[in-house]
């Protein structure tokens, strides 16, 4: 497996070319074609998994086995029961997914416990 990481100048040049092509598509065809082109080129440039937590959900891109194109759902197991936790689109080796980190009721309990822990730490720190 190649662990080559392109230089910053290379990545900036890649962005500049992609933005120029997207602007041309915007002007010649439509804004939608430009947005789709830019999104797909950025998706194809990902070399390692990147996820961002947005509250109860996580959004990210990761590498997987090579397929042409596939829609799917992501499953997770909560208490031994498999449930749908999100949506996934596979394009080539890249998987774009949006998943819930926990079921809604568990998330509320988790946030309440975290708030209780923070309050206990603040109270213990005041002594």
pLDDT of residue 56: 80
For residue 1, the model assigns a pLDDT of 46
Given this model, what pLDDT does residue 72 score?
Answer: 65
Output the pLDDT for position 23: 93
What whole-number distance in Å separates Cα of residue 114 and Cα of residue 51? 22
- The tokens for 78 are 């909560």
Look up the pTM and report it: 0.52
Shortest CA distance to 98 belongs to which of 35, 66, 54?
54
Could you tell me the sign of the dihedral formed by the alpha carbons of 82, 86, 87, 90, in that order? negative
Tell me the pLDDT of the chain (127 aa) as tens digits.
455 677 888 888 888 998 999 999 999 999 998 988 888 888 777 777 778 888 888 888 877 766 666 666 666 555 556 666 777 777 777 777 888 777 777 788 888 888 999 888 888 765 5
> How confident is the model at residue 24, as a pLDDT?
93
């Amino acid at each position: 497996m190649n662990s080559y990481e392109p230089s910053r100048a290379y990545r900036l040049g890649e962005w500049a070319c992609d933005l120029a092509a997207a602007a041309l598509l915007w002007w010649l065809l439509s804004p939608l074609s430009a947005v789709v082109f830019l999104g797909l080129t950025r998706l194809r440039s990902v070399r390692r998994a990147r996820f961002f937590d947005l509250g109860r959900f996580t959004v990210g891109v990761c590498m997987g086995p090579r397929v042409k194109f596939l829609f799917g759902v992501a499953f997770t197991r909560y208490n031994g029961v498999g449930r749908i936790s999100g949506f996934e689109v596979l394009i080539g080796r890249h998987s774009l997914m949006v998943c819930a980190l926990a079921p809604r009721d568990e998330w509320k309990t988790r946030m309440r416990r975290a708030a209780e822990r923070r309050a206990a730490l603040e109270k213990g720190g005041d002594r």
